[in-house]
């Protein structure tokens, strides 16, 4: 969260799935709008919002490649979701237009090799989802093409860090860390491959 503007900034969370990142950010004091194309996922996201008592949080069923927001947000996030885009340029362009001048987009995505990984092949077969390589260079190059003025690149820590005594935050961190580890264990993504991921920050 240190890569985002400080709370209570307004944040657009793109491709949220069950909404755990949105709930996490809301509990940390941010004003969050979470977006996902899957209506059933958004239903679960609303349930998670109620479960954890998250305020200043709403969800929208929409394709993040065709969003209509314009200069409404201080920050935006693609957390493990941009690689599902059919058109990553359209997705990054929508994120760019949604940000206020000076806003930042934080991207955490799988590196080269993801599309051919066993877990990605299985996901395509089972769920008919897009699974693409999304290395930092691609995000940066396309981001600059759509108008972002600058970029920064950060290493990703494997171990979770305690970020503050926010009510309900420690519990949700532990819960989703366990789920994340279970996911990687089930699908077989190695720690080495996961640590090759980088955090890309694009500034408008």
Q: Which CATH number fits domain 10-203: 3.40.50.150, 3.40.720.10, 3.30.565.10, 1.10.10.10?
A: 3.40.50.150
What number of CA atoms fall less than 13 Å from residue 136's CA on the CB side?
15
Q: Are 75 and 105 in contact (CB under 8 A)?
A: yes
Q: For 106-131, what is each residue's pLDDT tens digit? A: 999 877 655 565 665 465 555 556 56
Quick check: 186 pLDDT over 50? no
Query: Quick one: pLDDT at residue 188?
Result: 45
Which among 89, 95, 31, 30 has a CA at the least distance from the CA of 62?
A: 95
Quick check: 63 pLDDT over 80? yes
Query: Quick one: pLDDT at residue 56?
Result: 96
Quick check: 180 pLDDT over 80? no
**Can you give the residue ranges of every domain in the chain?**
10-203
Q: What is the mean pLDDT of the chain?
A: 82
């Amino acid at each position: 969260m240190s890569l985002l503007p400080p709370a209570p900034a307004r944040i657009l969370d793109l491709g949220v799935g069950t909404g755990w990142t949105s709930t996490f950010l809301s509990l940390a004091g941010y004003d969050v709008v979470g977006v996902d194309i899957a209506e059933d996922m958004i239903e679960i996201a609303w349930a998670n919002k109620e479960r954890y008592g998250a305020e200043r949080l709403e969800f929208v069923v929409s394709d993040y490649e065709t969003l209509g927001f314009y200069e409404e947000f201080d920050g935006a996030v693609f957390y493990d979701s941009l690689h599902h885009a059919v058109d990553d340029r359209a997705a990054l362009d929508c994120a760019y237009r949604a940000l206020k001048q000076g806003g930042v987009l934080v991207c955490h995505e799988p590196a080269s090799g993801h599309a051919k990984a066993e877990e990605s092949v299985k996901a395509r077969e089972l769920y008919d989802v897009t699974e693409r390589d999304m290395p930092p260079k691609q995000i940066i190059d396309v981001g600059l093409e759509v108008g972002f003025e600058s970029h920064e690149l950060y290493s990703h820590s494997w171990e979770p860090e305690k970020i503050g005594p926010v009510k309900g935050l420690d519990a949700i961190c532990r819960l989703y860390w366990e789920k994340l580890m279970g996911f990687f264990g089930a699908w077989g993504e190695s720690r080495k491959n996961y640590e090759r991921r980088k955090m890309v920050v694009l500034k408008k």
